[in-house]
Amino acid sequence: MTDHGSPNERGPLARAVLGPLSWLEDRTGIGAFIAPIMTHRVPPSAKWFYVFGSATLMFFSLQIVTGICLATLYAPSASNAYQNLVHIDTQVPFGWMLRALHGWSSNAMVAMMILHMVQVFLHATYKFPREMTWMVGVLLCLLTLALAFTGQVLRWDQDAYWGIGIGAAIADRIPFVGNWARGLLLGGPIISGETLSRFFALHVFVLPGITIALVGLHLVLVLRHGISEMPKAGEPVDPATYREAYEKRIHKEGVPFWPDAAKRDMVFCGLALLALVAIALLAGPMGPNGIPDPTDIETNPRPDLPFLWIFGLVSLIPPASETAVMLIAPGVLILGLVLLPLFGNAGERAPSRRPFMVLGVVLAATTVGILTWEGAKSPWSPVMDAWSSMPTPIEYVEDRGPLELQGAVVVQNAQCRNCHELGGEGGKRGPALDDVATRLSYDQLIRQVQQGGGNMPAFGKNLTSAETEAVVRFLLTMHPANEPVSSPPGALLPIPPQAAERR
Amino acid sequence: MRATLLLATCGALLAGCGGGALPPGSVEAAPPEAPGLDTAEGVAAFYANACSGCHGADGWHGAARPLADPLWWRTMPDEQIVEATAVGLGRLMPGFSKDAKGGPYIAYAGLDRDDVATFVKGLRKRWETGGEPAPAGSAVRLGDASMGGELFSAHCASCHVEGSRDSVLNPFYLANVTDQGLWSAVVFGRPDLGKAPSSLSPDEIADVVAFMASRRPSWASQGAVEPPLPTSPDPDTTRETSP
């Protein structure tokens, strides 16, 4: 289709190059497909504000390339993943750089996506006729965050463990189907090897597949409706006339995307890429921070940057509001974003005429900024050395049996007190344990220790059955003298049938 | 030209990062700064930070063995204490040095065996007082389990009633405790909790410990709480072994 002239009229070199090219073009028509896309006309006012979408796509492409490279090195096995990452970091030539690029590019992709979204929101580009483009964009935003989260889990370190633990705890709060949702997320009741396999499949196949498809749809929609103009105050969108007016203007004033608009995209993407390489060089790869083990939480785990604000939020809100904040608020927020263009697809686009929207963005940015800061600063648990430096209160040691005393040691060793108070000393993340026996029965305590729940991680994989029994026996002594334990007295000391038989 | 410069800079940066062998920032953590472990204050500070959680604020009344027990210090040699402190003992006593089983607790990762030895010397200075060591000595011996069973019935069972919370034949209790721990419990008791050391002879103690060890269940430790208890192993095969 493109006019290269007849190959026979050119010199031998040109023929050698152009011959195969025009053969390819003739058989596939790929140039004819791409050319109109590259040269489609865009408004001349589409300047530097419009580069963030391209940068997001650039970082996504980089994620795919580095991700494929990493997939050739990574083994999604719970017992090897951690050592595997250490191996990539220290043994594979430039393996650490590959991981650093993949990790920081993920943050960069989230950052660019948010800038892109904010720009589209402030300029009301989601209004007629680009409602669907926005809706697909919101889905892409969720997918990007899901990719970042599942990727963090694949590091299979302390951060990953606690991240997925909290994710599972959130899933657990869903009414009626919470247990099932947690099982679906974790591949079982607790975090295990199946969890890692599941997140590997999600991160490497499912989510990228859907994302690529939706990116395609997003781009098709962008081409279909054309790139929007910079908003002007006093020029509201009127669905009845917008299309015709846009077409007219774009024919008169429009410039071809390539090279006029694309050059800005390329300059910005190039600079962003250099910045990414610099960050990757200086900061190195993310993690792995400590072997995942809930009994060893000295590493002060943090979620990755895009989720720090959630972490900060959870550390600030009163426990009673957690279900509302963790479940209902995100649902409302996401639904609101998806449905936004349906409620206001006409009217003014200029930020100067939409002060409440601008205020909303400022408010959201301030809130997320402060919460991110809080998330980075707030102690994971107020007392990280409680387990080794805060003696079990003497009154909880006296008159305890041998197994119960072992349990008291396990409570210290498993670092329960970093989150739970005992005798007024210890963390405040979880409830104090001084009267836990009045609240939970033997069976409930066993279940809570093994499977976790609420915001507590599961200790089933990290405590032996005998240690679990010892902890629970000790905890069953934790009740005020005048208050009975919640389990029936007969269930206090069941003896294994074989032992009873032998007696 | 600019592009060439930029590439050259990037190349130099990459080359500067150890040829890509190690990620930046992966320098070994510096050892913790604390008053030296060769001073009484250093020993007290480290004890308060790392040991008091289980062994009690002043070495008494903790959930685990009281370290302030002078009889224990008179009986146990430094090497054994250093080994347990550095590497750990069973699953309930973590190691606190670089050699710890299953990796060191991160806050104490800077310690090596010599530091631990210095610390143990300091503790000994603090708590050992004159007197005789325990007659049983410090070496754990496993005697005749069947004899131990009879001794247990005669001397222990009246207080350590099986099935009660004071039972020391509870399979879960036995699964958590090492032979060393059983032996120490009999030899030293828990004087801080009003449990006096045993008055049995060293040979009798060896028999009782062998009996208790023979009752230890052998179910897979990571399994569910379904104890298929084994038959008592032949006493001859249980000698001088720790789980």
Question: Which of 432-451 (A) contact B at CB < 8 A?
Answer: 446
Confidence of residue A382 (pLDDT cuts 50, 70, 90): very low
Please give the pLDDT value at position A71. Answer: 93
Q: Is A461 on the interface with B (CB under 8 A)?
A: yes
Range of the domain at A150: 41-377
Asked, for residue B50, whether it belongs to a domain, the answer is yes
A114 and A33, same structural domain?
no
- Residues composing chain B: 243
B63 and B114, same structural domain?
yes
Mean pLDDT of A70-81: 88
Task: Nearest by CB to A470, from B13, B19, B172: name it.
Answer: B172
Residues of A in contact with B165 (CB under 8 A): 400-401, 403-404, 473, 493
Query: What's B20's DSSP letter?
Result: G
Tokens standing for residue B222? 């990571």
Please give the pLDDT value at position A165. Answer: 77
Asked, for residue B17, whether it belongs to a domain, the answer is no
Asked, for residue A206, whether it belongs to a domain, the answer is yes
A414 and A326, same structural domain?
no
The number of domains in chain A is 3
Burial class (CB in 10 A: 0-12, 13-18, 19+), B8: exposed
- For residue B189, pLDDT over 90 is answered with yes
Quote the mean pLDDT of chain A: 85
Asked, for residue A134, whether it belongs to a domain, the answer is yes
CA A320 to CA A325: how far, in whole Å?
10
Identify the three-state secondary structure at position B68: coil
CATH of the domain at A87: 1.20.810.10
For the stretch B55-93, pLDDT in tens is: 999 999 999 999 999 999 999 999 999 999 988 888 888
Which single residue is written with the structure tokens 């892409």?
A140
Q: Which residues contact A251 (CB under 8 A, 6 or more apart)?
A: A41
CA A150 to CA A162: how far, in whole Å?
13
Which single residue is written with the structure tokens 């410090």?
B138
Strand partners, B93: B89
Identify the three-state secondary structure at position A414: coil
CA A425 to CA A123: how far, in whole Å?
53
- Residues composing chain A: 503
CA B162 to CA A451: how far, in whole Å?
30
Element housing A421 (H / E): strand A421-422
A309 and A456, same structural domain?
no
CA A497 to CA A297: how far, in whole Å?
37
Asked, for residue A314, whether it belongs to a domain, the answer is yes
Closest CA to B145 of B174, B102, B119: B174
A311 and A367, same structural domain?
yes
Asked, for residue B73, whether it belongs to a domain, the answer is yes
Closest CA to B165 of A472, A405, A401, A499: A401
Q: Which residues contact A169 (CB under 8 A, 6 or more apart)?
A: A452, A453, A454, A455, A456
Residue where one domain finishes, among candidates B101, B127, B153: B127
Please give the pLDDT value at position B87. Answer: 85
Please give the pLDDT value at position A496. Answer: 47
CA A96 to CA A284: how far, in whole Å?
7
Q: What ipTM goes with this model? A: 0.78
Mean pLDDT of A407-427: 86
Q: How far is A475 from chain B (nearest CA, A)?
A: 13
Closest CA to B13 of A147, A72, A97, A422: A97
A103 and A227, same structural domain?
yes
CB A325 within 8 A of CB A317: yes
Under an 8 A CB cutoff, do B107 and A389 touch?
no
Under an 8 A CB cutoff, do A466 and B164 touch?
no
B230 and B150, same structural domain?
yes
Closest CA to A418 of B141, B53, B201: B53
Which single residue is written with the structure tokens 């208890």?
B229
A250 and A134, same structural domain?
yes
Residue where one domain finishes, among candidates A343, A377, A411: A377
Helices (H) and strands (E) in chain A, counts: 23, 4
Per-residue b or e along A365-393, where b marks 16 or more CB atoms closer than 10 Å to that residue's CB? eeebeebbebbeebebbebbbbbbbbbbb
Any idea of the CA torsion for A431, A437, A438, A439, to the nearest 10 degrees? 50
Strand partners, A322: none
Task: Nearest by CB to B229, from A94, A282, A496: name it.
Answer: A496
CATH of the domain at B100: 1.10.760.10
Decide which of A382 and A413 is more confident: A413
* Minimum Cα–Cα distance from A288: chain B residue: B26
A164 and A63, same structural domain?
yes
Please give the pLDDT value at position B229. Answer: 30
Please give the pLDDT value at position A291. Answer: 67
- For residue A153, pLDDT over 50 is answered with yes
For the stretch A289-329, pLDDT in tens is: 766 655 554 556 677 888 888 878 877 777 677 778 878 88
Under an 8 A CB cutoff, do A277 and B10 touch?
yes
For the stretch A155-177, pLDDT in tens is: 888 778 777 877 887 787 788 88
Asked, for residue B1, whether it belongs to a domain, the answer is no
Asked, for residue A429, whether it belongs to a domain, the answer is yes
| CA A279 to the chain's CA centroid | 20
Asked, for residue B33, whether it belongs to a domain, the answer is no
A257 and A279, same structural domain?
yes
From A122-136, A195-209, A482-496, the region with the lowest mean pLDDT? A482-496
Closest CA to A195 of A150, A233, A232, A229: A150
Confidence of residue B101 (pLDDT cuts 50, 70, 90): low
Under an 8 A CB cutoff, do A100 and B23 touch?
yes
A125 and A219, same structural domain?
yes
Return the percentage of chain B with pLDDT > 90, whole number: 37
Question: Which of 190-229 (B) contact A at CB < 8 A?
Answer: 193, 219, 221-225, 227-229
Asked, for residue A503, whether it belongs to a domain, the answer is no
CA B219 to CA A466: how far, in whole Å?
10
CB B198 within 8 A of CB B187: yes
Asked, for residue B198, whether it belongs to a domain, the answer is yes
Residues of A in contact with B160 (CB under 8 A): 402
Q: Which residues contact A424 (CB under 8 A, 6 or more apart)?
A: A432
Burial class (CB in 10 A: 0-12, 13-18, 19+), B16: exposed
Query: What's A453's DSSP letter?
Result: B
Asked, for residue A233, whether it belongs to a domain, the answer is yes
- For residue B203, pLDDT over 60 is answered with yes
CB B149 within 8 A of CB B90: no
Under an 8 A CB cutoff, do B24 and A298 touch?
no
Tokens standing for residue A277? 């390489």
Question: Which of 17-46 (A) contact B at CB < 8 A?
Answer: none
Mean pLDDT of A250-270: 91
Please give the pLDDT value at position A293. Answer: 59
A78 and A19, same structural domain?
no
Tokens standing for residue B207? 């028999």
**Residue type present at position A156:** W
Task: Nearest by CB to B92, from A389, A402, A406: name it.
Answer: A406
Asked, for residue B134, whether it belongs to a domain, the answer is no
How many angstroms separate the first and last alpha carbons of chain B?
Answer: 70
Range of the domain at B92: 40-127
Element housing B99 (H / E): none
Q: Is A418 on the interface with B (CB under 8 A)?
A: no
Residue where one domain finishes, among candidates B97, B127, B157: B127
Please give the pLDDT value at position A294. Answer: 55
Confidence of residue A502 (pLDDT cuts 50, 70, 90): very low
A45 and A22, same structural domain?
no
Residue A231 CB coordination number (10 Å): 22
Mean pLDDT of A273-279: 96
Asked, for residue B151, whether it belongs to a domain, the answer is yes
Residue where one domain finishes, among candidates B127, B153, B168: B127
Tokens standing for residue B114? 């010599």
The number of domains in chain B is 2
Mean pLDDT of B160-170: 89
Residue A229 CB coordination number (10 Å): 20
Q: Which residues contact B210 (CB under 8 A, 6 or more apart)?
A: B142, B143, B144, B145, B148, B235, B238, B239
Residues of A in contact with B14 (CB under 8 A): 94, 97, 281
Mean pLDDT of A365-384: 76
A131 and A83, same structural domain?
yes
B79 and B50, same structural domain?
yes
- For residue A489, pLDDT over 60 is answered with no
Residue where one domain finishes, among candidates A377, A404, A420: A377
Under an 8 A CB cutoff, do A465 and B222 touch?
yes
From A251-255, A276-280, A427-431, the region with the lowest mean pLDDT? A427-431
CATH of the domain at A469: 1.10.760.10
Tokens standing for residue A29? 């028509």
Task: Nearest by CB to A401, from B62, B166, B219: name it.
Answer: B166
Please give the pLDDT value at position A383. Answer: 52
